[in-house]
Structure 1
Amino acid sequence: MKYSKNKIIHFFVFGSIYMNVEIIARIVGKQLVGYKGIKPLSLMGYTSLWMFAVGGICGVLIGSLNDHPRFYDKKIWQQILIGGTTITLAELFSGILLNLILGLNIWDYSKDSFNFMGQIELKNCLLWYLMITPIIIWFDDMLTYYLYKEGESYNLLEVYKKLIKLK
């Protein structure tokens, strides 16, 4: 029961974070220009509620991996490789379902270089691996530590130090 409650909380936390990160990324990346009447200098971002589910699922999947010794005993670069691949596959499969099969047209990378089926692209995949996955691993550990008094507290910078040293 405790494990299920933990994952439900993590789903809502990571889903909320994912939606906000997408809004901020669209603002910073200036992807709003010409989007359905939004002015070029507008600070209004946008996202889809489906991104809440995709982000929540990614957070729970990586957090669930992070609960098992076969994952957390691996070197950090291996954890990041597994986590980044998990996010990339979740993006691909959700894109195929939501955009191609259901026709919701939430995102389309077909005009970008190095895209696959218009659902994932190299630039975002690199972000999943190098930025998002380490943060998810760390934040999942911190949620578990502060909410359930399990594990130990540590700094996000430690994750990147281990990554640089290939530990």
Structure 2
Amino acid sequence: MEYSNRSSKYLKNKVINFLVFGSIYLNVEIITRAYCKCLVGFNNITKWSLCGWTSLWMFPIGGLCAVLIGSLNDRPRYYNLKMWQQVIIGGSLISAVELITGVFFNLYLHLNLWDYSENKFNFMGQISLQNCILWYLLSVVVIWFDDLLSYYFYDEEKPQSLLSYFIRLIKFQ
């Protein structure tokens, strides 16, 4: 019975991670497009687009990244690493998922969800250095949120504030 209950909590934890970070991933793109003044608007709605501002495919991509990082974060070999090491792994994982899904959706299926070919330091137009830096920072939030869910679901130690996670990153702790 205990195993079943823990398994149910684990699944709930991952579903919440998927839903929250799927939503965050959508909003990160909308905010980024608004900041860069490249919102499309209603008249030029593209296939599978949310008001022309983001692709609905960003939701499962972002959710998948959070579930993968959260699953790593459940393993002592990962969560015992220094924060900067966890961030390198997490940000690299997000960048790899973005590259793989970009190659599949953009180059293979020709959905043209994103194209970074005009950005400096891009690879195949599917990932760019500036976005990768953002993914490394976002991975801190994913790690913290997963720790917060573990506190609520598994009665584990309450995580410190999100700010303290960033301070640990800066101090290489």
TM-score normalised per structure 2: 0.85
In 2: Cα distance, 1:36 partner to 1:75 partner: 48
In 2: Cα distance, 1:23 partner to 1:81 partner: 25
Q: 2:67 aligns with which of 60, 63, 71?
A: 60
* Counterpart in the other structure of 1:41: none
CA RMSD of aligned residues (A): 2.0
Q: 1:123 aligns with which of 130, 146, 152?
A: 130
* Counterpart in the other structure of 1:106: 113
In 2: Cα distance, 1:146 partner to 1:25 partner: 31
Q: Which runs of 5+ in 1 are unaligned?
A: 39-43
* 1:10 aligned onto 2:17: yes
* Counterpart in the other structure of 1:144: 150
In 1: Cα distance, 2:103 partner to 2:66 partner: 20
Query: For residues 94-132 of structure 1, what are the alpha-carbon distances to aligned partners after superposition, in whole Å with 9 as ceiling and x for unaligned?
Result: 000110111100000111111100000011111111x21
8 Å Cα contact 2:144/2:159 also seen in 1: no
Q: Which runs of 5+ in 2 are unaligned?
A: 1-6, 46-50
In 2: Cα distance, 1:99 partner to 1:33 partner: 18
Amino acid at match of 2:146: D
* Counterpart in the other structure of 1:83: 90
Cα separation, partners in 2 of 1:119 and 1:36, compared to 1, 3 Å: farther
In 1: Cα distance, 2:172 partner to 2:87 partner: 11
SS in 2 for 1:128: helix
% identity of equivalent residues: 57
Cα separation, partners in 2 of 1:55 and 1:33, compared to 1, 3 Å: closer
TM-score normalised per structure 1: 0.88
Q: Where has structure 1 moved over 6 Å in runs of 4 or more?
A: none
In 2: Cα distance, 1:5 partner to 1:34 partner: 36
* Counterpart in the other structure of 1:133: 139
Query: For residues 42-91 of structure 1, what are the alpha-carbon distances to aligned partners after superposition, in whole Å with 9 as ceiling and x for unaligned?
Result: xx771111100100000000011111100000001100000010000000
Q: Tell me by how many angstroms 1:9 deviates.
A: 2.2
* Counterpart in the other structure of 1:166: 172
